[in-house]
Amino acid sequence: MNIFTVSLFGHREVDDLRRVDERLIPILKELIRTKEYVAFLIGRNGEFDEYAASVIKRVQKELGSDNNDMTLVLPYSVADIEYYEKYYDNITIPESVSGVHPKSAITLKNRWMVEQSDLVIVYVERNKGGAYNALRYAEKQQKKIINLVQRESVENE
């Protein structure tokens, strides 16, 4: 099976959730309709992550989840894992973050997500923070990138 992997990153606080809806929904639908299988990787570190996960869930409800899934990628173990197990299709903690300081673990988790990805979707409007750093890393890795803040997608090929 040909698995197309998509990572999503965004700022902890999002100024315009409507924009996320308007731009993310058509992208997700197109991916699900045109790819054999889509694996969505997402964190849970802020408003964008939570909202993007809910958008994925809505699209899955409409189009089904036979050819896609959503994996929560955590930087370390959390106490309320049972809650997350009910919401996400899968949960993973990359081996590369094992035993590192929690602050470093988030950066390493983000890098791992980028490295797994065929496409990186971001909501980045400020030149600082974890989402911005993930975007910069994706650029260095020459990944295809869509920034939901911009009108056009940025493609590195």
Q: Please count the other Cβ atoms lying within 10 Å of the Cβ belonging to residue 43.
A: 25
77 within a domain of the structure (yes/no): yes
Of the pLDDT bands very low, low, confident and very high (cuts 50, 70, 90), residue 102 is confident
pLDDT tens track for 13-60: 888 888 899 999 999 999 999 999 999 999 998 899 999 999 999 999
152 within a domain of the structure (yes/no): no
What torsion do the CA atoms of 86, 6, 118, 134 make, to the nearest 10 degrees? -110
Report pTM: 0.92
Classify residue 18 as exposed, middle or buried by CB count within 10 Å of its CB (0-12, 13-18, 19+).
exposed
44 within a domain of the structure (yes/no): yes
Strands 90-92 and 119-123: unpaired
pLDDT at 22: 93
Cα separation, 126 vs 147, in Å, equals 12
pLDDT at 151: 56
97 within a domain of the structure (yes/no): yes
| 1 has pLDDT over 90 | no
| 154 has pLDDT over 50 | no
User: Strand pairing partners for 72?
Assistant: 42, 91
pLDDT at 79: 87
Number of domains in the chain: 1
Q: Which two tokens stand for residue 112?
A: 């791992």
| 156 has pLDDT over 90 | no
Q: Please count the other Cβ atoms lying within 10 Å of the Cβ belonging to residue 72.
A: 22
CATH of the domain at 18: 3.40.50.450
Which domain range does residue 35 map to? 3-147
